[in-house]
Amino acid sequence: MPELRWVGKEKVVNHHLDVPFRTLRNVYTFASEGHAAASRGDAGGNKIIHGDNLEALKALLPEYEGRVKCIYIDPPYNTGNENWIYNDNVNDPKLKKWLGQVVGREGEDLSRHDKWLCMMYPRLKLLRRLLADDGVIVVSIDDTEVHNLRHLLDEIFGSRNFIANIVWQKRYVSNVTAKFLSDMHDHILVYSRNIENVKVKRLERTEEQLKDYKNPDEDPRGLWRAQDLSASKPYNAGRFEIVTPAGLTVTPPPGRYWRCNREQYDKWIADNRIWFGKSGNGRPMLKSFLEELKNGITPNTWWTYEMAGHNKEATLELKTIFDGASPFDTPKPVKLLSQIFEHFCSKDSCILDSFAGSGTTAHAVLKLNQQDGGNRKFILIETMDYAENITAERARRVMNGYGEAGKRIAGTGGSFDYYEIGQPLFLDDGNLNETLCIDEIRRYVAYTENIPHVQQTARDNPHTSYLLGMANDTAYIFYYEPTRSTTLDLEFLSTLNFKPAASVIYADNCLLGRAFMQRHHITFKKIPRDITRF
Ligand SMILES: C[S@@+](CC[C@H](N)C(=O)[O-])C[C@H]1O[C@@H](n2cnc3c(N)ncnc32)[C@H](O)[C@@H]1O
């Protein structure tokens, strides 16, 4: 497979491994009016995180690695426009600082595209780790970077996991000031974690589409839609003569063909599937019955603004929520994201958006849940300070309801936790950061030991408050106290009121003999030396 090279690439390919692991600090928990008040830090799964997504994605790994069903991202398109409320290109001071630290002096000579690629690469690497085995990543992009992004996604997710490049019609009228051609569409790239496991849901027909179904001949099979029996595609033996019920002989118009051969036509006639109009002399039409469309519409890659909304619609949606103000320049329409989530998620999926902007993802998730009683969850990450007063505020307003009296949109209800990026788990000298909450450290160690989420235990478990969890008949014990040094010895073992077949025990020191540990299948790991860093 051809590989994309750019200046600075070698500095970022493994950068996701060097990003320090930080905790997420819960700032507040929001619950909508009438929604059962969620306890602090436990809003049931919805999260909004203020901070750089590189650190936030890393902080999500212990809880979410391999658990996210759908990632939707709408990263800066890198069009060179610096006048937007957020910086669309890579000259944002935060990004410049980050590039300086990671790429070093070479970073000063990077082109705009090099910088964008350096920014995207480690973030996509972390996103892949968060994706479930049957999950998909969906990325909005325009022509400025689509070719580079395809290469990145091929490299990180594997070209065999490519699903589609959807063309979304983002504008409904041409831009008359365009220099050459008016740019009417965005690309929506879809890749899977593992193509064998992906299911794409077919959507039901909309009210609008159902209007085409009628039953003028009172067919007992119910409503049907007429489809012209002739088509421009040359069907095999599709130019024979047909005699209408009123006795007229017809052949397909010039350049067209019947969409069947004679044998199939006779079968359709016998089954009353050909309609010649009320007069019996009209153009032959094939009946397609509503009842037979059980599988819904086969999704395709051409998404018009009628089905998926357009940019102006997205701006109007935001204005309605923010009382006429337009606080964000480049939102996506709710319809577009709803359609993505309907195709690629189930009703209880976890959906992650690490370039959250105005929070359209939260809006679409809440609305879909309201419509179909689903329990989808959202995790949003936004680096700019408007994470609170635009991203989170939008989620609050959608949950509580918004709009003027008379045109008020009912609230969806719901709750979310709001986080800032917390402290690093390890200090620069390699020691554990002892000011951290012990549960954060426990969660991290449990994660590095691959203890499945459901097998992790809380500190108030019946065995010992030091137990992290059980996996493969092995007990994982984290004997750690921030204020004193701990020792694995016979005295400590006597405090355990259970006898696991094998155990991995973390402590500051160990006084047990090698033979004793072998006999009792105990593995000692020294704090902090043996805590894996990833
Ligand atoms: C195109 S906008 C997303 C718009 C969004 N889809 C919506 O409908 O409102 C991209 C967003 O990503 C944010 N962003 C850029 N770099 C980021 C980073 N490193 N971490 C988190 N957010 C970032 C920008 O601040 C901006 O709000």
Residue 293 has pLDDT above 80, yes or no: no
Residue 377's pLDDT band (boundaries 50, 70, 90)? very high
Residue 277 has pLDDT above 80, yes or no: yes
| Ligand 1 midpoint to CA 149 (Å) | 16
Q: Which of 382, 385, 390 to mutate to test the pocket of ligand 1 (most atoms within 8 A of CB)?
A: 382
Predicted local distance difference test score (pLDDT) of residue 420: 97
| Ligand 1 midpoint to CA 156 (Å) | 21
Predicted local distance difference test score (pLDDT) of residue 295: 61
Ligand 1 touching residue 384 (CB < 6 A): yes
Ligand 1 touching residue 203 (CB < 6 A): no
pTM of the model: 0.82
Residue 331's pLDDT band (boundaries 50, 70, 90)? very high
**Long-range Cβ contact pairs of 338-343 (< 8 A, separation 24 or more):** 338/364, 338/367, 338/368, 339/203, 339/303, 339/307, 339/308, 340/70, 340/72, 340/138, 340/188, 341/70, 341/72, 341/365, 341/368, 341/376, 342/201, 342/203, 342/368, 343/200, 343/201, 343/203, 343/299
| Ligand 1 midpoint to CA 74 (Å) | 7
Between 326 and 358, residue with greater pLDDT: 358
Predicted local distance difference test score (pLDDT) of residue 296: 66
Ligand 1 touching residue 170 (CB < 6 A): no
Residue 86's pLDDT band (boundaries 50, 70, 90)? low
- Cα gap 385→383, rounded to integer Å: 7
- Cα gap 189→214, rounded to integer Å: 37
Q: 14-49: per-residue pLDDT in tens?
A: 998 889 999 999 999 999 987 776 677 677 899 999
Look over the chain and give the mean of its residue pLDDT values, rounded to a whole number.
91
Residue 298's pLDDT band (boundaries 50, 70, 90)? confident
- Residue 160's contacts (CB-CB under 8 Å, 6 or more residues apart) are 195
**Structural domains in the chain?**
22-84+125-201+298-424 (3.40.50.150), 207-292 (no CATH), 438-526 (no CATH)
Lowest mean pLDDT among 1-10, 83-92, 401-410: 83-92
Predicted local distance difference test score (pLDDT) of residue 398: 98
- Residue 102's contacts (CB-CB under 8 Å, 6 or more residues apart) are 11, 12, 15, 118
Q: 477-503: per-residue pLDDT in tens?
A: 999 998 899 999 999 999 998 889 999
Ligand 1 touching residue 440 (CB < 6 A): no
Residue 85's pLDDT band (boundaries 50, 70, 90)? low
Q: 447-467: per-residue pLDDT in tens?
A: 999 998 889 999 999 899 999
Lowest mean pLDDT among 146-150, 344-348, 404-408: 404-408
Predicted local distance difference test score (pLDDT) of residue 159: 97
Q: Minimal CA–CA distance to 130: which of 214, 204, 61?
A: 61
